[in-house]
Structure 1
Amino acid sequence: MTNPGWGGVSGDGTPPQPRCVRHPDRPTALSCTRCGRPACVECLRPAAVGQHCVDCIAADAKTTRSARTVAGAPLRTGLPTPIVTYVLIGLNVLIYAITVLQSGNVANNHLGSPLFTSWALWPPAVADGDLVRVLGSGFLHFGAVHLLVNMFALWVIGRDTEIILGRSRYVAVYLVSILGGSAAVMAFQVNAVTAGASGAVFGLMGAQAVILLRLKRSPGPVLAIIALNVIISVTIPGISLWGHLGGLVAGAAATAALMFAPGSLGTPAERQKARNLGWGGLAAVTVVSVGVIALRMAQLRAELGM
């Protein structure tokens, strides 16, 4: 039986210097403090006690549970970058810029823009089959002020929410919030033309309130901001209250499904089951929103004789 990394006796009777198990051409006096095999400097990494070879580190990584947030998202080291939030802001700004170029008007970009005309949420048009309006309207804005207010709110609220939920869950909650806002408009604001990311922003506010509850912290400040925005939505003409409320309810419900799924701790199988339950709850919120939209489409088609 031979021991890898060790040679026999040399010609002069003295044992040769051990050689790295990964690089047999490199003599070394070092070894892994975990497995004891000889290893060169390139193959060793500092450890709490001594130094471990890259093979032991790789084997340990397979059995060590990675750190995760309370929502089950990977916990990123250092200062995490909310990439999705920045991408969403960029998309909203880009689409606004396109409507400005098409209309030639910064303040009234909704006039003369084919993109705005085809994406704005108008329930009779949705009933006629323009389904792109259901989500596309969430990326349109009436003028620069409307855009700046929503993007500032998204920048403030979205960053922390993305880090806690993780990128995939965050995108899902954002889109479901737009869908919920559109469903509420379809149900209660049939004759209005609405647009804006406000439904998604309200959904993220609801998500933050749920996250604070899950962390056993007071959601009071977030609820106060929500209440203030609801009052503004009621008192200022031209603001879609139902779009805001629909987004709020959908975002909060989807986040609650992701955050409060049972079995978030335990064996890998239990954790996977919890993740599946969370995604299943989010899918249920999506199905309800789509169901409301489909029902209103059928009713409007019958009422308008389409």
Structure 2
Amino acid sequence: MRTRPLATYALVAINVAVYAICVAQARTGDFYGFVDSSVFNYSTLTPGDIADHEYWRLLTSGFLHLSPIHIGVNMISLYILGTMLEPILGTGRFLLIYLISLFGGSAAVAIFAGDNTATAGASGAIYGLMGAMLVIVLKLKAPAGQVIAIIAINLLLSITVPGISLVGHVGGLVFGALATALALYIPDLVIGRQTPTVPLRKRATGTAWAALVVALVVAVALGIAAPALR
């Protein structure tokens, strides 16, 4: 039975709800107006925040948006990618890959961004889903040109458009692709040329899940350790 993209719907709903709360608190929908929003102020991410041990921002910054256009573009992208990927990966793996991508993007910001560079948005996680799509296409041995072109165009925009976090996007992309590769290729490596019995398949699946959990821990740990790595 085809998996319904419930996690995708939930993620979109959470992002929209958080944005609505920020707008209600600040009574406006632009970046500078959000200074009056306590949710926004306590959720954005700068490397200095991590140096001050405010580690929750590694997660919460991925659910903030600066304007109607910002959240609109991100949520449309999340919906399109999520409704394609979640039925393929299954809800559990999809959600874990999303979180790995989010924390990977945040870790990249915490390590490589300027000291006072404030970052907010789901883009890091969404780039991770682009990386996931590329790995799936390659695994299926399908033509990857369109996916590569989409990623390249988005990275070019990240470079040329002011105010966009290139390091956050690249971090999310790398961690999303890596996590998806672990999820899809580890079972093949565990089974190898052996007869794929039920116990062996369960062990292969369990090993892949364990690898994803390790990837999540690594992404979070890199973010926490960012001040020492800068």
* TM-score, normalising length: structure 1: 0.70
* Identity across matched positions, percent: 43
What is aligned with 1:81? 4
Corresponding residue for residue 19 of structure 2: 96
Greater Cα shift, 284-293 or 222-231:
284-293
* 1:299 positional shift: 5.6
Indicate which of 101, 105, 113 corresponds to 2:37: 113
- Taking the aligned partners of 2:158 and 2:137, their CA distance within structure 1 comes to 24
Q: Name the stretch that deviates more: 263-272 or 167-176.
A: 263-272
Structure 2: distance between partners of 1:281 and 1:216: 23
Equivalent AA in structure 2 for residue 293 of structure 1: G
Q: CA RMSD in A?
A: 1.6
Corresponding position: 1:244 with 2:169 = yes
Is it true that 1:232 corresponds to 2:157 in the alignment? yes
8 A Cα contact 1:124 1:190, kept in partner: no
Q: Determine whether 1:188 maps to 2:188.
A: no
Distance in 1 separating the partners of 2:72 and 2:48: 29
Q: Where does residue 163 of structure 1 map in the other structure?
A: 87
- Matched residue SS, 1:96: helix
2:74 aligned counterpart, secondary structure: helix
TM-score by length of 2: 0.92
- Of 88, 99, 103, 1:179 maps to 103
Deviation digits for residues 181-232 of structure 1, max 9, x if unmatched? 0111111103210000000100000001111111121222111100000000
- Does the 8 Å CA contact 2:4/2:86 hold for their aligned counterparts? no
Query: Residues 85-127 of structure 1: CA distance to partner in whole angstroms, max 9, x if unpaired?
Result: 1111000000000000000002235221110100001111122
The 3-state SS of whatever aligns with 2:80 is: helix
Residue 35 of structure 2 aligns to a residue whose secondary structure is: coil
Match of 2:209 in 1: 279
Query: 110, 131, 141: which is aligned to 2:55?
Result: 131
Unaligned runs of 5+ in 1: 1-75, 301-306
Instruction: Say which one has the larger Rg.
Output: 1
Distance in 2, matches of 1:163 and 1:101, equals 34
Give the aligned residue type for 1:160: M
| CA contact 1:138–1:195 (8 Å) conserved in 2 | yes
Q: What is the CA deviation profile of residues 8-32 of structure 1, one whole-angstrom value per residue up to 9, with x for unaligned ones?
A: xxxxxxxxxxxxxxxxxxxxxxxxx
**Separation in structure 1 between the aligned mates of residue 35 and residue 220 of structure 2, nearest angstrom:** 29
Find out whether 1:257 has 2:182 as its counterpart: yes
1:6-45 matches, within 5 Å, as none
Provide the rounded CA distance (Å) in 2 between the counterparts of 1:123 and 1:288: 18
Which residue matches 1:295? 225
In structure 2, what is the equivalent of residue 9 of structure 1?
none
Which residue identity does 1:151 align to in structure 2? M
CA deviations 1:41-69 (Å, max 9, x no partner) are xxxxxxxxxxxxxxxxxxxxxxxxxxxxx
Unaligned runs of 5+ in 2: none
Secondary structure (helix, strand or coil) at the match of 2:36 reads: coil
Distance 2:11 2:225 in 1: 30
State the one-letter code of the partner of 1:241: L
Higher helix share: 2
SS at match of 1:260: helix
Deviation at 1:252? 0.5
Q: How many residues align?
A: 223
